[in-house]
Structure 1
Amino acid sequence: MQSLKGHLLVASPSLVAPIFARTVLLMLDHTEEGAAGLILNRPTETTVTEIAERIFEAPFTWEKPVSLGGPVPGPLMVLHTLEDLGDQEILTGVYNTVETDRVQELIHHRPEPSLVLANYAGWGPGQLESEFGDDSWLYLPATYEHVFWQGEGDLWDVVVKSINASQLSRMLRLKEIPDDPSMN
């Protein structure tokens, strides 16, 4: 089994489950025992300021939106680039922090780029692989730019176009296809 840790899991156009429709997830872990990831493109209207005091019983001021990381109840966590405060490196230069004291320190420092998330997506043994069999998901290696998306357009649209170009390239046995067709 190939681990998808550090990859993007992208909802296929046919996946219509409301929580996962048009989602892009960053895979945190993927083993024989199961898988876990975070939805990257579900910001909420709730800010860190609004929930931090209730969670940590200490005032914090940061108007950053909290994103919905998935349907499974879980801790508040932060994706960021500060190695010293990372619990786990997900891909080169991108860290995940769940440990409460470190999350509080990150919120206090308000690092950018970062993504603050509540909850996560999880799959039991073999469950994700079964969903691949149903053509529910596409995947590709994640990049820093994907995780901290600031570009134009919807992240899901951008990633699906990238996957389609990659699949076409493999089918035609081409080494590379330019992003800009005028460059061919």
Structure 2
Amino acid sequence: MTAPKAGSLLIASVALTDGIFNQSVVLILDSDADGALGVILNEISQTPLDAVLADWVPVVSGPAYLFHGGPVSPNGAICLASVADPAEEPPGWRRMFSTIGLLHLDTPIEIVRGAYRDLRIFAGYAGWSAGQLEEEIAEGMWHIVPAVYSDVFSDQPLELWRTVLRRQRSELAYFSTWTEDVESN
């Protein structure tokens, strides 16, 4: 895969040590000539979900936390949801790829219950201006791989960076054992 598109994962390379995206797994939601945006899948927010969206706690997938989607608009929220019935498009939901889409958080919770297989809410997002992400990829900061469903709604999100790397059928898999102590690598 050479260019990121909706449904691609950006896997932070071991060279990316900016303090923001270290060992991040970012799901691309949109990418075009104007730039790209996505959400970090493997970082849990410091804010408890019940402190900001208490009604949503019973319907989100485990672990039932608010996730830190990225440094842009940290007070905004993005909800990823997978429809229970792929033939339906429930109110407030917009398909992104496969059965996964964006769910508007103004959707009444009564409509949400039972309509989705999985839900996850992210505070903020990751964004790149035109050409910025391509430049970072060319510099070796990111690896692009296809996402699988379990990446988006993993019940072990903190292990996702290693999990995604480990399943690659290339030399990229070697980095799944990377440690910050260079002597141990």
Question: Distance in 2 between the 1:76 and 1:15 partners?
Answer: 25
Runs of 5+ unmatched residues, structure 1:
53-58, 170-184
Q: Given residue 158 of structure 1, which amino acid in structure 2 is its aligned partner?
A: T
Residue 31 of structure 1, CA deviation: 0.3
Partner residue in 2 for 1:101: 106
* CA spacing shift, 1:8–1:85, aligned 2, 3 Å: farther
In the superposition, the TM-score normalised over structure 1's length comes to 0.75
Which gives a bigger RCO, structure 1 or 2 (Cα 8 Å, sep 6+)? 2
Aligned-partner Cα distance in 2 for 1:152–1:101: 26
Please say if 1:142 is aligned against 2:161: no
Structure with the higher fraction of residues in helix conformation? 1
What is the aligned counterpart of 1:116 among 108, 115, 121? 121
8 Å contact from structure 2 (residues 43, 157) kept in 1? no
**Equivalent residue of 2:127, what SS?**
strand
The aligned residue for residue 180 of structure 2 is none
Give the % identical residues: 31
Tell me, yes or no, if structure 1 residue 62 matches structure 2 residue 68: no
Which segment is superposed worse, 125-134 or 144-153? 144-153
Find the partner of 2:97 among 87, 91, 98.
Answer: 91
Cα-Cα RMSD: 2.8
Give a deviation string over 1:120-167, Cα, whole Å, max 9, x none. Answer: 00000000001011100001111111111136981100111223x245
Q: Following TM superposition, by how much is the alpha carbon of 1:46 offset from its aligned partner in structure 2, in angstroms?
A: 2.6
SS in 1 for 2:6: coil
TM-score by length of 2: 0.74
**Structure 1: which 4+ aligned runs deviate by more than 6 Å?**
none
Q: How many residues align?
A: 160
* Letter in structure 2 aligned against 1:142: A
Distance across 2 between alignment mates of 1:168 and 1:100:
37
Letter in 1 for 2:152: V
